Chains A and B, each alone.
Chain A
Amino acid sequence: MKSKKTKQRKTKGKTQKKKTVKTKKDIEPRIITFACNWCSYAGADLAGVSRMQYPPTSRIIRVMCSGRIIPTFILDALTDGADGVIVSGCHFEDCHYISGSKKAEKMIESTKKLMHLLGMDERRLRFELISAAEGAKFASVAREFTEEIKNIMKEKHGKK
């Protein structure tokens, strides 16, 4: 009799575990967006003011320049619970600090290399150039990236 009881308990535990896993699947991805003060943050503002629809997955962090972002910020975000990171700056010729977004591009390249070395998915990081007038682009990038991250999460889930 005793053994039966324990068996029942075990199966109960298993089903409970499965349930929690299922709910995890449906969780919306968490995305950190670093937006530069002069272009991309204004772009995000425009998207909001123009009432463009995009998923509420991204948390925007305003920085003065995309050139300020360092690999550590990105890796910190990714290891502390973010599923994806977008770094968004001005178009190269429009950078408020002349060469900030070019610097950011280089930094993103080396961060992607580091992520590859560390066995992280490089697709979780994206670099975008969004100007203050491109509210629609901001919304579409947010939509696209959310979908991509969802796919990555599903892939990862399937593997497990």
Chain B
Amino acid sequence: MGKSNIDDIIKKTNASLCIDCGECTGSCPVSRVNVHYSPRLSVEKLLLGYFNEIKNDDDIWSCLTCGLCSVRCPSDVDYLEFIRLARKEIRKYTNQLNYSHNRILQKTMEIMVQGQSQNRTDWINKDLRVSKKSQYLFFTGCLPYFEVIFEHLNIHPLDTARNAIKILKKIGIKPMVRNDEVCCGKDLLYNGDEDNFVKLAKLNKKMIKESGAKKIIFSCPECLQTMKEIYPQYVGKMNVELIHITQLVDEALQKEKLHLDSSKTKKFTYQDPCALGRGLEIYDAPRNIIKNIPESELLPMEREREDSICCGPSAWISCTNYTKRIQFVRLGQAEKTGAQVLVTACPKCTIHLSCALSADDVDYNIKLMDITTLIAETMKG
């Protein structure tokens, strides 16, 4: 790595403005459980030009990319951007990352890059009404793949997609679901694999253009954030409206297009997904939905909104004891509220937290539920 590359990273991330205050390390959920990990030190090493040290550290791969440090930094150093650029550079020297799930998720994405026709719409059964041509597009993301890969966790990520279609039908939207969509590629980008990310982004852009959609509805906040914030940097503007399903439902509730019935469980608490919360600043829409369920109670967790803790590993790398401990802390906080159900709005939160719940040596008295499932179960009529 040349000096020009380091200068480039410093310039793009405002790293030279770092005042060495340590706010990032103090906030970092990884630093809490792993004393050797320090975002501040990584940035310092970069500023001093110790690239070889950064290269050989595991530190750069331990970051959860939750964005808590970027939000809190008083000097506006973009640590997320720093991680992304540094990983891209380091990736040139090594391919041996600490992949989780045996690299299967990265492998499926790499196969998707080739653009061959998939069979990803098999989950649509007769009960679900989807149209071939509509101005609304429902972006499934990797849910069909999660359904197969995380079978052992007894979760059904595709139910999220099915329920989303049901909810949209209630609101009066008949969306199309495309077979030629591919993964949004965020995980590859944060693995440092920029080339394949750009290829995926181009494929998705082409798909959206061909579909003629004007509004794309997402159930996965990561896909939404990637398309909204990262795609324009790589493949140009998309000229479509991108919206999360909770925003749509919240709107429908306010306009009284949709009514919720009371549910068996009364006490809920909500986990802010990093991409939806800190990334897109959608905090109130999902909370309003839960509050709209009659007789229900939304109990605040110890750390929520901007201060919310990440569900654990990101980009399907570095699933370690440390991330497991972060998940246990989060589940403990959720249980402490006295809620019966922990609602999340991100498939990755569901996967990671249910993995922690299924551990042998812990016993948390709380259930997990995706917000689309909750809405679909309590919808009237």
Contact = CB atoms under 8 A, between A and B. Distances in A.
Interface of A: 70-72, 75-76, 79, 110, 113-114, 116-120
Given A71-B102, A72-B102, A118 B108 contact: yes
Interface stretch (B63-71, B112-120, B277-285): B112-120
7 contacts: A114-B104, A117-B144, A118-B108, A118-B111, A118-B112, A118-B119, A119-B119
A118 B122 CA distance: 12
Contacts of A120: 111
Interface stretch (B145-153, B191-199, B250-258, B293-301): B145-153
Contacts of B110: 79
A130 to B, nearest CB: 25
A114 B145 contact: yes
Nearest to B145: A117
A116 B110 CA distance: 16
Contacts of A76: 107
A120 B107 CA distance: 14
B157 to A, nearest CB: 13
Contact of A70 (B102, B122, B148): B102
B122 to A, nearest CB: 8
B104 A70 contact: yes
B72 interface: no
B112 to A, nearest CB: 7
- Return the 9 tightest CB-CB contacts between A and B, nearest first: A70-B102, A113-B148, A119-B118, A72-B102, A119-B117, A72-B103, A75-B107, A119-B116, A71-B104
Given A70-B102, A72-B102, A114 B119 contact: no
B12 to A, nearest CB: 33
A75 B119 CA distance: 16
A70 B149 CA distance: 11
A110 B151 CA distance: 9
Interface of B: 102-104, 107-108, 110-112, 116-120, 122, 144-145, 148-149, 151
Nearest to A110: B148
B149 A79 contact: no
A86 B347 CA distance: 33
Contacts of B122: 116-117
Contacts of B111: 75, 79, 118, 120
B117 A72 contact: no
B212 to A, nearest CB: 24
Contacts of A117: 108, 118-120, 122, 144-145, 148
B281 to A, nearest CB: 33
A79 B107 CA distance: 10
Given A110-B149, A114-B145, A72 B120 contact: no
A116 B121 CA distance: 11
Nearest to A118: B111
B112 A114 contact: no
Contacts of A75: 104, 107-108, 111
Nearest to B142: A117
Contact of B104 (A72, A79, A116, A119): A72
Contacts of B148: 110, 113-114, 117
Nearest to A75: B107
Contacts of B103: 72
A70 B144 CA distance: 19
Contacts of A114: 104, 108, 145, 148-149
A75 B118 CA distance: 15
Contacts of B118: 117-119
A94 B108 CA distance: 33
A124 to B, nearest CB: 13
A158 B59 CA distance: 51
Nearest to A116: B119
A69 to B, nearest CB: 10
A52 B17 CA distance: 73
Given A72-B103, A79-B110, A119-B116, 5 more contacts: A71-B102, A114-B149, A117-B120, A117-B148, A119-B117
Nearest to A71: B104
Contacts of A118: 108, 111-112, 116, 118-119
A146 to B, nearest CB: 24
B203 to A, nearest CB: 13
A71 B144 CA distance: 16
Contacts of B119: 116-119
Contacts of B151: 110
Interface centre among B112, B148, B151 (most CB of A within 10 A): B148
A71 B107 CA distance: 9
Nearest to B111: A118
Contacts of A71: 102, 104, 107
B149 to A, nearest CB: 7
B188 to A, nearest CB: 15
